[in-house]
Copies of this chain bind each other. A is one copy, B any other.
Amino acid sequence: MIIVMKPQASKEAVQRVLATIEENHLEAHVSDGTVVTIIGVVGDKSVLMEKNIELYDGVDKIVEVTESYKLANKKFHPDASVVKVGNTTIGGDELVIMSGPCAVETEEQVMQTALAIKKSGAQILRGGAYKPRTSPYSFQGLETEGLKLMKQAKDETGLSIVCEVTSLNAIESAVKYVDMLQIGARNMQNFYLLKEAGKTGLPVLLKRGLSATIDEWLNAAEYIMAEGNPNVVLCERGIRTFETATRNTLDISAVPVIKAKSHLPIIVDPSHATGVRKYVQPLAQAAIACGADGLMIETHPNPETALSDGPQSLTFEQFDNLCNDLRPFAKLMNKHF
Contacts and interface: CB of A to CB of B under 8 A. Distances in A.
Give the bracket for the number of chain A residues in contact with chain B: 35 or more
Nearest to A257: B245
A245 B215 contact: yes
Given A138-B49, A222-B135, A244 B68 contact: no
Given A33-B43, A38-B65, A139 B253 contact: no
A22 to B, nearest CB: 15
Interface string A55-88: 1100000010110110000010000000000000
Contacts of A256: 278-279, 282-283
Nearest to A78: B8
Given A246-B253, A253-B279, A256-B278, A42 B31 contact: yes
Interface string A237-272: 001111111100111111111001100000000000
A40 B49 contact: no
A19 interface: no
- Main DSSP-derived SS at the A contact region: mixed
Nearest to A135: B68
B253 A274 contact: yes
A186 interface: yes
A261 B278 CA distance: 12
Count of chain copies: 4
Contacts of A261: 245
- Residue of A135, A289, A307 most packed against chain B (CB within 10 A): A135
Contact of A282 (B132, B190, B242, B289): B289
A38 B36 contact: no
A46 interface: yes
B192 A167 contact: yes
B251 A243 contact: yes
A4 interface: yes
A40 B35 contact: no
Interface of A: 2, 4, 7, 27, 29-36, 38, 40-43, 46, 49-52, 54-56, 63, 65-66, 68-69, 75, 130, 132-140, 166-170, 186-187, 189-193, 195, 209-211, 213-216, 219, 222-223, 226, 239-246, 249-257, 260-261, 273-274, 277-279, 282-283, 285-291, 303-307, 310-311, 328-329, 332
